[in-house]
Amino acid sequence: MSKCVLVTGGAGYIGSHTTVELTAAGYDVVIADNLSNSDMSGVEGVRTITGKNIPFIELNCLDRAAMEKLFEDYKIDAVIHFAAFKAVGESVAEPLKYYSNNIESFVTLLQVAEKYGVNNIVFSSSATVYGQPDVLPATEQTPRKPATSPYGNTKQMCEDILRDTVAASQSLKGIALRYFNPIGAHPSALIGELPKGVPNNLVPFITQTAAGVRECLSIFGDDYNTPDGSCLRDYIDVVDLAKAHVTAVSRMLDDKNKERYEIFNIGTGRAVSVFELVNTFEKVNNLKLNYKVVGRRPGDVESVWADTTLAETELGWKAERSLDDTLKSAWEWEKRVRGL
């Protein structure tokens, strides 16, 4: 019988792509999402791509009774917990919103999972836990830096909550995946990133500028201590990222994990500057982008990219899609959303 994976936040950007890859790998998936930062189009897209009527439960992970009903109704083998708020600036303005939603919901999930004997949990962490590392690329051993926002703090705290809960349990297993910068969309262009309001992240801002929704991209700083003066990041294709979750789930279900709590960087291992990203987007999509250089964005780190050795050797996972193809997919998705 197929194993069943609960994907919280499965209507969202990374959750929807992960649901597709889990289904392709033969898992049954149940999506739970409160649609606070997504809508049913993600679920519909996933159903179209997979040809399966993937169950969708509209619930808030803070709602213990609703969570318990879900675990009663489905025999869950593993959980991937994506459901969380993720806007850095908003988290500074409304910290309690973030602590309540991101921390309490994870604690509730862990309690309900324990009650129903579900022992395999994957947590969506972030490279944000490294801040500006002293040595690059960042390995999983690179010390975490004090978080510079409540959002970043919730990622660190949830990692620790998972670590401590695993340590106190005889049977619980946990994997934290630290994502670098997820970008791109499914090759079908049926699912992708759908930010509400003005995008905070670079690629959605680029695609919306190309689509004429935004007038001009602002490049935040060209005076950093980097080869071209703009910040360096590790941009990971969302389909590759989704596949990393499948390997993490399989690792636990097949008892291949070395420790009961493990952490993996999920990136490409390649540093790409903002200018390189913009130029590549223009080249592969054969268009010109309206952009200007402005001052640095407060809170930005200068450079961060991943050492992916551990994911390669332990998970047997490696990023595959080229930056060219990823940036083409981002533009195809934007065009479909805008009807271009």
Binding residues for ligand UFG, per CB under 6 A?
86, 88, 126, 128, 151-152, 181, 200-202, 205, 217-220, 231, 233, 274, 297, 300-301
User: Closest approach of Cβ 29 to ligand UFG, in Å?
Assistant: 24
Choosing from 13, 130, 151, 179, the catalytic residue is: 151
User: Closest approach of Cβ 230 to ligand UFG, in Å?
Assistant: 7
Question: Angle of helix 202-210 relative to helix 323-338, nearest 10 degrees?
Answer: 50
User: Closest approach of Cβ 224 to ligand UFG, in Å?
Assistant: 8
The owner of tokens 């071209």 is 228
Name which of 31 and 217 has its Cβ closer to ligand UFG: 217
User: Closest approach of Cβ 10 to ligand UFG, in Å?
Assistant: 19
**In angstroms, rounded to a whole number, what is the distance separating the alpha carbons of residues 5 and 8?**
10
Kind of pairing, strands 181-183 and 235-237?
Answer: parallel
Residue 135's φ and ψ, nearest 5 degrees, are -130, 135
Q: Which residue is nearest to ligand UFG (CB)?
A: 231
Name which of 64 and 214 has its Cβ closer to ligand UFG: 214
Name which of 32 and 304 has its Cβ closer to ligand UFG: 304
Virtual torsion, Cα 235, 280, 327, 269, nearest 10 deg: -20
Decide: 269 and 233 in contact? Cβ < 8 Å: no
DSSP secondary structure, 259-285, as one string: SSEEEEEES-S--EEHHHHHHHHHHHH
Name which of 152 and 174 has its Cβ closer to ligand UFG: 152
User: Closest approach of Cβ 137 to ligand UFG, in Å?
Assistant: 15
Closest CA to 125 of 108, 110, 140, 104: 140
Is 151 part of the annotated catalytic residue set? yes
Name which of 115 and 296 has its Cβ closer to ligand UFG: 296
Kind of pairing, strands 261-266 and 173-179?
Answer: parallel
The single-letter code of the amino acid at 95 is P
Question: Angle of helix 202-210 relative to helix 274-285, nearest 10 degrees?
Answer: 40
Q: Indicate which residues carry an active-site annotation.
A: 151
